C-alpha cells in the first residue's frame, strides 16, 4: 500500500535552510546514505542518537510504502585523529596501543556497534559497506578528479584544490562558509606541508614508514582521505545523484562539504537533493567527552553500572527518551529526564496492553481517523516525533477513559486505533513492549494480585490501617491501586 501518495512530507534541507516538500528522484523509491561510525572504540551515545533518528526516518519511509535503499557505511581506515589531514589513523593508533592488528580493532568495535544497535531495536541498513572494501573505487575517483584538474599530486600524496574548484563552484554552500573567510581564519602553512593552500584536503596520503594501514596506488603506498570513502560508496550504491544524505551536525564541515566538492568535481552534478543533520546529545547540560569524564556508554545505561543514573534503564525506555526530542534539537541526557521518560513509556505500554481488553460499544467518543491524521501530520512535518508522542498520549487518555467506563468506542474504531497505535509506536518509533517481553511481568502481576486479595480481606475485617498501608506501600514503589465496581486493578508509573 502506497500511503506516501496521501501524505505530503516536508523535510528540513540543511543546504537550503528551509523545509521542503519531499519528492524522490524516482517515484516510490528512495536512496538514503548516512555516515556511519569510525570503529575504533565503543559506540558513543551521541552517535547512537544520530543513527536512531535515521532508523526512525527509514522506518517511516517504509511504513509509507517507499522502496528504500539505505546505505550506512563503516569507516575502518582513513579517519585521522584531528579530522583533518595530519596525525595518526584512529584505528591504526588503537591497534598500536593494544599491540593487535588494525582489523582486530575494526572487528571488535563493529561487533559492539551492531550489538548495541540490536538492543535498541534498529533495522539493519540495506547495505553496510566499508572503506577498506572500496579502495579501488576511491582510487578511480581520485584519477577522475585529477583528470578534471581539481586535484594535484605532491610527493606521493594527492590533494583537492579547493581554490581552483571554488572558481567554478561554491565550496562552503552547505555549512554557510565562503572560501574568503576560510582563508582569513586559517593560519599560513608552515613550509613543511605539501598542500598549496591550507584549505585543500587530502584525497590520498602517502604512508609514512610507521603507518601500518596502507594500499598500493598510482601515486604511492598509502591510504585514502576520510572524506573520499563516502563519495565512493554513496555514488556506487545510490548513483551520481540520490535523494537523502544524513549524519550528525558535526559532520557538516568539513566532511560533508568535502563530499559535495568531490562529487561535483568528478561528476559535474550536485550529488544530494536533501541534506539532513541530527543534533547533538549532552549529558547533564554539558558536552559528552571521555576526557572530562562527562560520558556514559549505552551498555552502562542498561546495567546501571555508572555514576550518572539512579538505576538501570532498558534500551526501549532509552529509545523513547530520545524520540521525545526532535532530531534537529539538542537533547540533554540526565537521570531526572530518563526517569520521567520511563514513567511515560510505562503509561504508553499499559494503554497498548489494555486495547485487547476493551469492550466495544455502539458509538465512539473519539474521532480515530482525525487523530490518526494528526499523527501523520506530525511525522510529515520533518519527522516531528515529540508532537507524534503528544498525539499518542491523547489516545492513551481516551483508552483509559474507555477502560474506566467513562467513554465508548465502536468495534471498527477500536480495531483501527489498535492498528495505528501499533504502527506508530512499534513500526515507526521502533519501541518494543518491555511489559510483554519481560520475564518478570507475570511475577509482578501475580504478586500484586496477592496483595490486592490481602487488602480486600483486611477491609472486610475492617482493618483499615492494614488496608491503607498496603495501598500506600505499593504507591511508594510506583504501583497505584484503583478501586472500581468490578474490583481493584493496578497501574504502574
pLDDT tier for residue 404 given thresholds of 50, 70 and 90? very high
Of residues 208 and 487, more confidently modeled: 208
pLDDT tier for residue 326 given thresholds of 50, 70 and 90? very high
pLDDT tier for residue 182 given thresholds of 50, 70 and 90? confident
Distance of alpha carbon 323 from alpha carbon 52, whole angstroms: 9
Q: Is the pLDDT score of 139 beyond 50?
A: yes
The answer for residues whose C-beta is within 8 angstroms of residue 192's C-beta and 6 or more apart is none
How confident is the model over 249-276, as pLDDT tens digits? 999 999 999 999 999 999 999 999 999 9
Cβ of 21: how many Cβ atoms within 10 Å? 9
Among the listed residues 418, 420, 412, 419, the one whose alpha carbon sits nearest the alpha carbon of residue 362 = 412
pLDDT tier for residue 437 given thresholds of 50, 70 and 90? very low
Q: Is the pLDDT score of 49 beyond 90?
A: yes
Rounded mean pLDDT of 297-305?
A: 95
Reduced to 3 states, what is the DSSP secondary structure of residue 492? strand
Distance of alpha carbon 244 from alpha carbon 240, whole angstroms: 12
Q: What is the pLDDT of residue 188?
A: 54
Q: Is the pLDDT score of 218 beyond 60?
A: yes
**Averaged pLDDT of the chain:** 93
Q: What is the pLDDT of residue 291?
A: 75
Looking at the structure, give the CATH architecture of the domain made up of residues 282-437: Orthogonal Bundle (1.10)
Give the residue extent of every domain in the chain: 3-278, 282-437, 441-492
Chain-centroid distance, C-alpha 421: 22
Rounded mean pLDDT of 164-170?
A: 96
Strands (DSSP E) along 124-196, which ranges?
151-154, 157-160
Task: Give the DSSP letter string of 454-475.
Answer: HHHHHHHTT-HHHHHHHHHHHH
Distance of alpha carbon 199 from alpha carbon 129, whole angstroms: 29
pLDDT tier for residue 469 given thresholds of 50, 70 and 90? confident
pLDDT tier for residue 185 given thresholds of 50, 70 and 90? low
Which numeric CATH code is attached to 3-278?
A: 3.40.50.620
The grid cell for 132 is 577498506
Rounded mean pLDDT of 195-215?
A: 93
Percent of residues, the chain, with pLDDT higher than 70:
95
Q: What is the pLDDT of residue 46?
A: 93
pTM over 0.85: yes
Rounded mean pLDDT of 362-374?
A: 97
Q: What is the pLDDT of residue 493?
A: 58
Q: Which residue has the cell 526501549?
A: 316
Q: Indicate the burial class of 267 (C-beta count within 10 angstroms; 0-12, 13-18, 19 or more).
A: middle
Angle, vertex CA 281, rays to CA 279 and CA 286, nearest 5: 125
Residues 301, 307, 312, 316, Cα dihedral to 10°: -30
* Peptide bond connecting 254 to the previous residue in cis, omega within 30 degrees of 0: yes
Amino acid at each position: 500500500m502506497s500511503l506516501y501518495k496521501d501524505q505530503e512530507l516536508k523535510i528540513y534541507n540543511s543546504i537550503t535552510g528551509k523545509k521542503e516538500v519531499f519528492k524522490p528522484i524516482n517515484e516510490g523509491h528512495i536512496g538514503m546514505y548516512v555516515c556511519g561510525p569510525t570503529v575504533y572504540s565503543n559506540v558513543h551515545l551521541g552517535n547512537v542518537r544520530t543513527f536512531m533518528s535515521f532508523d526512525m526516518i527509514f522506518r517511516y519511509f517504509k511504513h509509507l510504502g517507499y522502496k528504500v535503499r539505505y546505505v550506512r557505511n563503516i569507516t575502518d581506515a582513513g579517519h585521522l585523529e584531528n579530522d583533518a589531514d595530519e596525525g595518526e589513523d584512529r584505528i591504526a593508533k588503537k591497534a598500536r596501543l593494544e599491540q593487535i592488528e588494525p582489523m582486530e580493532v575494526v572487528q571488535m568495535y563493529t561487533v559492539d556497534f551492531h550489538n548495541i544497535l540490536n538492543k535498541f531495536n534498529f533495522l539493519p541498513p540495506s547495505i553496510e559497506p566499508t572503506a577498506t572494501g572500496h579502495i579501488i573505487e576511491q582510487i578511480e575517483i581520485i584519477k577522475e578528479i585529477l583528470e578534471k584538474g581539481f586535484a594535484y599530486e605532491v610527493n606521493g600524496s594527492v590533494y583537492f584544490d579547493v581554490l581552483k574548484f571554488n572558481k567554478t563552484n561554491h565550496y562552503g554552500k552547505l555549512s554557510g562558509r565562503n572560501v574568503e573567510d576560510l582563508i582569513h581564519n586559517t593560519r599560513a602553512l608552515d613550509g613543511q606541508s605539501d598542500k598549496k593552500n591550507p584549505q585543500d584536503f587530502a584525497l590520498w596520503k602517502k604512508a609514512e614508514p610507521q603507518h601500518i594501514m596502507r594500499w598500493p596506488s598510482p601515486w604511492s603506498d598509502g591510504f585514502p582521505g576520510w572524506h573520499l570513502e563516502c563519495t565512493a560508496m554513496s555514488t556506487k550504491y545510490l548513483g551520481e545523484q540520490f535523494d537523502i544524505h544524513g549524519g550528525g551536525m558535526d559532520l557538516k564541515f568539513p566532511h560533508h562539504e568535502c563530499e559535495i566538492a568531490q562529487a561535483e568535481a568528478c561528476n559535474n552534478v550536485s550529488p544530494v537533493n536533501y541534506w539532513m543533520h541530527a543534533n547533538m546529545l549532552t549529558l547533564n547540560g554539558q558536552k559528552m567527552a571521555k576526557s572530562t569524564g562527562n560520558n556514559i556508554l549505552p551498555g552502562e545505561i542498561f546495567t546501571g553500572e555508572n555514576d550518572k543514573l539512579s538505576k538501570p534503564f532498558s534500551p526501549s525506555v532509552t529509545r523513547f527518551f530520545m524520540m521525545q526530542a526532535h532530531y534537529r534539537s539538542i537533547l540533554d541526557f540526565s537521570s531526572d529526564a530518563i526517569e520521567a521518560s520511563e514513567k511515560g513509556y510505562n503509561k504508553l505500554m499499559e494503554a497498548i496492553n489494555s486495547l485487547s481488553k476493551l469492550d466495544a460499544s455502539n458509538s465512539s467518543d473519539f474521532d480515530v481517523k482525525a487523530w490518526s491524521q494528526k499523527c501523520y501530520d506530525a511525522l510529515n512535518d520533518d519527522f516531528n516525533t515529540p508532537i507524534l508522542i503528544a498525539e499518542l498520549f491523547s489516545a492513551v487518555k481516551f483508552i483509559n477513559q474507555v477502560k474506566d467506563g467513562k467513554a465508548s468506542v465502536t468495534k471498527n474504531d477500536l480495531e483501527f486505533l489498535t492498528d495505528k497505535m501499533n504502527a506508530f509506536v512499534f513500526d515507526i518509533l521502533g519501541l518494543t513492549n518491555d511489559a510483554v517481553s519481560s520475564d518478570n511481568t507475570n511475577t509482578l502481576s501475580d504478586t500484586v494480585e496477592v496483595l490486592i486479595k490481602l487488602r480486600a480481606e483486611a477491609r472486610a475485617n475492617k482493618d483499615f490501617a492494614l488496608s491503607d498501608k498496603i495501598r500506600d506501600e505499593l504507591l511508594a514503589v510506583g504501583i497505584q491501586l484503583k478501586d472500581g465496581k468490578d474490583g481493584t486493578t493496578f497501574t504502574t508509573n
